[in-house]
Amino acid sequence: MLTKNEIPDSELWAALKEGSQLAYTQVYARYHAALYVFAYQRLGNREEAKDIVHELFLALWEKRNSIIISQNLRVYLYTAVRNRILDVIRHQKVSSKYVEAFQEFIETSHSNTEEEIALADLHEQIELAIQSLPDKMRKVFELSRNVNFSRKEIAEELRLSEETVKSHIHHALKILKLKLKPLLGLFLFF
């Protein structure tokens, strides 16, 4: 009889595609730690590495019927993690460019009454947008941004799971981006 580590990946994948939670658990046990180390070594951020691996395994289960593995399971998992790492790095670069552009704008702009009024108005609109968030989402967002709590600290403070905290922050940012996008676009051209 084969032990779980001796079962070939191809058999585990076939069982997982059929909906075997045991096969999924075995794939997770076999690859989770190594994939986390792989992601962490490239990102240097434990939370991001955890998120990438967690999201990969979630997608693996949810999309198991539509995923086509042309080489082998190990290659597929490492390639998927690598691609997610590249997405995170691209996102960080884009975010960094926006922050740099905004900081440059602030540093190079002349301080006059019109700009101060526009900045105060922008701040007021941001606060109104934050206050319009659903109560729990707003609390999570404010602890994250205003108090600088980590996801874990927020989860402990509000007695939520870290995944719920992550989801609230993600949705809050989406909502705020939609509400403030027109205003920020106008402000940058002021």
60 and 21 co-located in one domain? yes
123 and 169 co-located in one domain? yes
Whether 2 is covered by a domain: the verdict is: no
pLDDT at site 45: 86
pLDDT at site 156: 92
Whether 47 is covered by a domain: the verdict is: yes
pTM: 0.51
pLDDT at site 189: 45
pLDDT at site 128: 85
Whether 70 is covered by a domain: the verdict is: yes
123 and 66 co-located in one domain? no
Whether 149 is covered by a domain: the verdict is: yes
157 and 116 co-located in one domain? yes
Alpha carbons 36 and 54: distance in angstroms, whole number:
9
pLDDT at site 55: 93
Question: Which range marks the domain in which residue 169 is found?
Answer: 111-188
Whether 16 is covered by a domain: the verdict is: yes
pLDDT at site 102: 66
Whether 96 is covered by a domain: the verdict is: no
Number of domains in the chain: 2
Whether 106 is covered by a domain: the verdict is: no
Domain with residue 152: its CATH number is 1.10.10.10
Domain with residue 63: its CATH number is 1.10.1740.10
Whether 80 is covered by a domain: the verdict is: yes
Task: Using alpha carbons, select from 156, 37, 44, 137 the residue that is nearest to residue 89.
Answer: 44
Tokens of 5: 């580590």
74 and 122 co-located in one domain? no
pLDDT at site 135: 92
Query: Among 88, 121, 155, where does a domain finish?
Result: 88
pLDDT at site 92: 74
Q: What is the pLDDT along the chain (190 residues), one digit of tens a residue?
A: 345 557 898 899 999 999 999 999 999 999 999 999 999 998 888 998 999 999 999 999 999 999 888 778 999 999 999 999 888 888 777 666 666 666 666 666 555 556 667 677 777 888 888 888 899 999 998 888 888 888 999 999 999 998 999 999 888 888 888 887 776 655 554 4
Asked if 73 and 12 touch (Cβ cutoff 8 Å), the reply is yes
118 and 175 co-located in one domain? yes
pLDDT at site 69: 83
Residues 6 or more apart whose Cβ sits within 8 Å of residue 137: 168, 171, 172, 175
